Structure 1
Amino acid sequence: MKYDANKRIGDLGELVVAAAFIRNFRWPCRLQNMDVGIDAEVETTNNQGVASGKVIKVQVKATMRSFKNGTNTIYPTVKHVNYWKEFSVPVLLCAVSLSSNEILWKLINPNVNYLTNKGARVDFDRASDALNVNSRRAIEKIAVEGFDPVIQMLNSVKHSINSFFDASGNCTISINDVEACERHELNREMISMAYKMIGLSNRSNAQVLENVTAALDKRWNMIDVELHRQAL
């Protein structure tokens, strides 16, 4: 059995990533013995080093080339991207430059379309996507929230509601815009559903989610008041 260059580069990349998670965050990083599209599993810990039970899967793509300033691109297979999107826990794609031991990371979001005419692509910014000690809070947030359906729903509502306000905070919805009015009513239904789901579940972050929902509810009412004003 030949231990070729591609295998060596892949193994080195996994070791660099595992070492970075342990060194920067003091989190255990378990390399997967059976690689079927996922290279490692990371578990977050608290400040005392107690494991949280919150895990993130990691896939590593390594290269001997140096990263350039600005955008760097990885071209995974469509099959792999679809596989990562189906995971019940978040998946991070880490690009590693073995010439500098730099690591860039990106969350694989099930709601993002990574497909192009030539296959799949994931873009990384050398500055903002660098994996370092400052990445801890963002990755912890991903591990805690995962793909919680309530959080996903609230994020969708937030994006929709914010689109009805301009940069100065003025409501720009028009009663004559049928599509916008339909989205407004859908937001009402999703806010009501979020309240119900939070109330029925035993969530450690229930109060935080209730506060977020209440804030969105308040902005929804501002839009509704504007629509009623236009109807007069």
Structure 2
Amino acid sequence: MTPQIVGVIFSRADLQRALRMRQPPGLFELRLDRLVNCIDEVKAAIDRLPARFIITARDPREGGANNLSAPRRRALLLQFLPRAAWVDVELRSARLLQSVLRSAEAKNVRKIISFHDFESTPSASRLDKIASDARSLGADVIKVATRTDTFAQFERLLDFFDRPRAAAVAAMGMGKLGRASRLELARRGSVLNYAHLGSPAAPGQVSIQDLRRARGT
């Protein structure tokens, strides 16, 4: 898979910025949990986006907004799935959102199975188990985002990324070394590299211009 820059649409203002972009990223991500209060506006606009998009409705335990229940998140994802290129479901939510994953398979929407740890970077064995479990769920991409406040955490994340996997991997750090980790992992070939369109949506998130410079594009 060719690595892509992903512009995160986190707000109504981000949506308007995305619609005006003359040099869009390879993909956008619609954070439906963040956009739930302007969802009709999003529905009306998405066919005018200048790139294909990922949909996600993040679990509150992994940074999701508005404390959305699993049934509410399921309904949002199924509503937007027919027009999406990708869907992102957290590993911890996969059982509750099985209908979303099945529908994605039927509609040829590619699947990202994700894991977010805002406290630390897990051990190598734990990260390997996460990747194995995600692959068993049919992940086209395994996404891992972890806290990288120390060089030891940073190195664990890089080591995880550098090991061969049965599926493509998107990896990124958050926190004090989040910016450095994202730029380094983009250089190493992380397949999805997330960027903000105005203000960072996660600790350490970088701009599209930063990622383009890091990748030499």
The interval holding the TM-score normalised by the smaller chain is under 0.3
If the length of structure 2 is used for normalisation, what is the TM-score? 0.26
If the length of structure 1 is used for normalisation, what is the TM-score? 0.24
